């Protein structure tokens, strides 16, 4: 029988929401969900430390849907839905996050009739007003735009029952403290409030003290023994956008050429999709997840053990208790939601003193999760650049060179010497050999076709900027602070919410770095980076040409 997502039911979530999560391929709650959902359903205020990638969005979205869903269940345009009046509000620091969170709530609320509206700057005010007039159950807003609507009286918060401050530390870093205060004053004192933040500095605690009532504190407990159990494995992370992950994985697998690997995904759906993609790309990949029957899973494991599969694509749940010898590579297609899962996953390689490699694909905003894994394991994760077409070509040629050498050592070439002789009469012998290698390496020409978006990825210090109007930014940390290109790109894309396309050439000096970014995002990046930290330290960020701005 397929394993149902009963882990969610035991948290107090309705059958309907549990069924939705099963359909989305979620196998079990993440730690922050396990802790936060029951507390929110019991209508406690909450002060939760959780970063992007831990599953925090679902941790507050699911309770919101359940708590106010009763009213919305009457269906769209229900009479209870009053124009301009909202029942739940989520405040987020950036427009990207507003879009993401509102999409997530929409996804989880499927079939409930609940209406979610995102409110952020840079998008039509009129359209947002029309949505609010039609009646929104939940709004997901940046503080600036929420305030705009309050001032114009196009949004009314008198009936707000649940309020979430998401990524509260970032909102403060971006200077939204006063706006948040004003917005909170517009909501009833009886509301339930949950504050989520990746860090818990004193400023956050002060807000919590003022606006949360008897909050339950939630910082996910760590398994203390984990570090001691860590095998010695090479650990590498690549910062890639979600849409670029399949192409990036292809290249990484080609470079690494694993003898046997497990690729971990978060959901069943992702396992199925990735398995299909990899099979289409010529790998022998097998899927393993809790949605499969025991019989199917046994068959998969038999094929893996018999060496009939190159890659096993699995969820954590399905891989639990698997006993496979000699796994050379663990790939985290997503950063695991809890650092402990990372330790469990990579514990499957590097066994009995053998060499092992752990590869992690992290999205730009998830660099904090990488840091917390490093803290837990007390081991460094190197941030590397996705192999380029040139890297792959070099590797293929190296493989060709090695196999020609082997062939030469094996001898027994007499039957083809005549052909070589004939060609040698007409051409230089060196050219003949080069032509033969070129034919062997027939895949080379196909390379041009796989020049995808990731070719334009930054984090390659040597390449040109590629930006149409680049601005050089001075960042006051460099090699001595152990800053690498990945840190810079991760921080810029993560903190400022700009895409990696807006980041160009990077130079890293001993004490400072220069990063080229598009002119149109330069100010955003400077503003966002001013409040942020790199490798745990605040850094100076300014335009390179004008030292007075320091």
Q: Which positions touch ligand AMP (CB under 6 A)?
A: 26, 29-30, 33, 52-58, 266-267
CA pair distance 112, 152, nearest whole angstrom: 30
β-bridge mates for residue 288, sequence order: 314
Min separation Cβ 94 and ligand AMP, Å? 13
CA pair distance 346, 200, nearest whole angstrom: 29
Of the pair 15, 449, the CB lying nearest ligand AMP is at 15
Please name the helix (run of DSSP H) or strand (run of DSSP E) that holds residue 35, with its range, or none. helix 31-41
Cα dihedral 480/485/491/493 (nearest 10): 160
Of the pair 484, 497, the CB lying nearest ligand AMP is at 497
Min separation Cβ 196 and ligand AMP, Å? 9
Of the pair 231, 290, the CB lying nearest ligand AMP is at 290
CA pair distance 177, 203, nearest whole angstrom: 9
Min separation Cβ 198 and ligand AMP, Å? 10
291: left (phi over 0), alpha (psi -120 to 50) or beta: alpha
Min separation Cβ 265 and ligand AMP, Å? 9
Of the pair 164, 207, the CB lying nearest ligand AMP is at 164
Of the pair 57, 192, the CB lying nearest ligand AMP is at 57
Q: Which of 496, 494, 502, 498 is nearest to 465 (CA)?
A: 502
SS3 50: coil
Of the pair 269, 404, the CB lying nearest ligand AMP is at 269
Min separation Cβ 26 and ligand AMP, Å? 4
Of the pair 56, 251, the CB lying nearest ligand AMP is at 56
Q: Using the 8-state DSSP alphabet, how is residue 503 labeled?
A: E
Of the pair 106, 396, the CB lying nearest ligand AMP is at 106
CA pair distance 346, 351, nearest whole angstrom: 10
- 450 contacts: CB under 8 Å, gap ≥ 6: 247, 250, 389
Min separation Cβ 268 and ligand AMP, Å? 9
Min separation Cβ 114 and ligand AMP, Å? 18
Please name the helix (run of DSSP H) or strand (run of DSSP E) that holds residue 47, with its range, or none. strand 46-49
Of the pair 20, 513, the CB lying nearest ligand AMP is at 20
Min separation Cβ 152 and ligand AMP, Å? 31
Of the pair 32, 184, the CB lying nearest ligand AMP is at 32
Decide: residue 325, CB within 10 A, 0-12 exposed, 13-18 middle, 19+ buried: exposed
Min separation Cβ 332 and ligand AMP, Å? 13
Min separation Cβ 63 and ligand AMP, Å? 13
Of the pair 29, 364, the CB lying nearest ligand AMP is at 29
Write the CA distances from 537 to 380, 477, 495, integer angstroms: 17, 9, 14
Write the CA distances from 342 to 197, 310, 318, integer angstroms: 21, 22, 15
Min separation Cβ 30 and ligand AMP, Å? 5
92-101 burial code (b ≥16 CB/10 A, e <16): bbbbbbbebb
Decide: residue 113, CB within 10 A, 0-12 exposed, 13-18 middle, 19+ buried: middle
| Phi (first) and psi of residue 53, to 5 degrees | 100, -10
Q: Using the 8-state DSSP alphabet, how is residue 325 labeled?
A: S
Of the pair 230, 373, the CB lying nearest ligand AMP is at 373
Q: Is the dihedral of CA 340, 481, 499, 246 positive or negative?
A: negative
Min separation Cβ 75 and ligand AMP, Å? 26
Of the pair 341, 502, the CB lying nearest ligand AMP is at 341
Q: How far is CA 8 from the centre of its chain?
A: 23
Asked if 239 contacts 503 with a C-beta cutoff of 8 angstroms, the reply is no
Asked if 220 contacts 32 with a C-beta cutoff of 8 angstroms, the reply is yes
| Phi (first) and psi of residue 363, to 5 degrees | -80, 155
CA angle 306, 231, 255 (to 5 degrees): 60
Asked if 286 contacts 313 with a C-beta cutoff of 8 angstroms, the reply is yes
> How do strand 88-91 and strand 138-141 relate by DSSP bridges?
parallel
CA pair distance 436, 347, nearest whole angstrom: 44
Min separation Cβ 130 and ligand AMP, Å? 29
> How do strand 503-508 and strand 470-475 relate by DSSP bridges?
unpaired
Min separation Cβ 406 and ligand AMP, Å? 45
Of the pair 145, 266, the CB lying nearest ligand AMP is at 266
């Amino acid at each position: 029988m397929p394993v149902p997502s009963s882990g969610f039911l035991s948290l107090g979530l309705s059958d309907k929401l549990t069924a939705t999560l099963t359909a989305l391929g979620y196998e079990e709650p993440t730690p922050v969900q396990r802790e936060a959902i029951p507390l929110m359903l019991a209508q406690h205020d909450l002060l939760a430390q959780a970063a992007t990638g831990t599953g925090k969005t679902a941790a507050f979205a699911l309770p919101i849907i359940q708590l106010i869903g009763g009213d919305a269940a009457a269906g769209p345009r229900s009479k209870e839905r009053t124009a301009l009046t909202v029942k739940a509000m989520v405040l987020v620091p950036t427009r990207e996050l507003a879009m993401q969170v509102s999409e997530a709530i929409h996804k989880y609320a499927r079939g409930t009739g609940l209406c979610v509206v995102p409110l952020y700057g840079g998008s039509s005010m009129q359209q947002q007003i029309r949505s609010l007039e039609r009646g929104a159950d939940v709004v997901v807003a940046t503080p600036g735009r929420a305030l705009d609507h309050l001032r114009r009286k196009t949004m009314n918060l008198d009936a707000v029952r649940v309020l979430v401050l998401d990524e509260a530390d970032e909102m403060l870093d971006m200077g939204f403290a006063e706006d948040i205060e004003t917005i909170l004053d517009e909501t009833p004192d009886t509301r339930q409030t949950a504050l989520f933040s990746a860090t818990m500095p004193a400023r956050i605690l002060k807000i919590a003290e003022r606006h949360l009532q008897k909050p339950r504190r939630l910082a996910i407990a760590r398994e203390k023994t984990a570090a001691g159990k860590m095998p010695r494995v090479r650990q590498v992370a690549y910062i890639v956008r979600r849409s670029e992950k399949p192409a990036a994985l292809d290249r990484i697998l080609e470079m690494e050429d694993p003898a046997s690997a497990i690729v971990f995904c978060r959901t069943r759906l992702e396992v199925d999709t990735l398995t299909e993609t990899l099979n289409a790309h010529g790998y022998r990949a097998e899927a393993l997840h809790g949605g499969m029957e025991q019989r199917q899973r046994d068959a998969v494991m038999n094929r893996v053990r018999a060496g009939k599969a190159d890659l096993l694509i699995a969820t954590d749940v399905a891989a639990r208790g698997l006993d496979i010898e000699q796994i050379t590579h663990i790939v985290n297609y997503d950063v695991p939601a809890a650092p402990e899962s990372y330790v469990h996953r990579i514990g499957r390689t590097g066994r009995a003193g053998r060499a092992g490699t752990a590869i992690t694909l992290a999205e730009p905003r998830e660099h904090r999760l990488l840091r917390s894994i490093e803290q837990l394991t007390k081991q460094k994760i190197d941030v590397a650049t996705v192999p380029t077409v040139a890297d792959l070509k070099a590797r293929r040629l190296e493989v060709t060179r090695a196999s020609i050498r082997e062939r030469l050592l094996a001898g027994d070439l007499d039957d083809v010497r005549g052909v070589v002789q004939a060609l040698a009469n007409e051409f230089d012998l060196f050219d003949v050999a080069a032509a033969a290698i070129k034919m062997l390496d027939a895949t080379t020409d196909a390379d041009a076709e796989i020049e995808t978006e990731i070719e334009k990825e930054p984090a390659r210090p040597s390449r040109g900027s590629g930006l149409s109007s680049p601005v050089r930014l001075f960042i006051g940390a460099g090699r001595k602070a152990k800053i690498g290109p990945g840190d810079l790109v991760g921080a810029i894309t993560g903190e400022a919410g700009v895409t990696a396309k807006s980041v160009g050439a990077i130079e890293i000096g001993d004490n400072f770095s220069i990063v080229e970014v598009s002119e149109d995002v330069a100010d955003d990046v400077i503003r966002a980076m001013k409040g942020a930290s790199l490798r745990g330290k605040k850094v100076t960020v300014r335009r390179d040409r004008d030292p007075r701005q320091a």
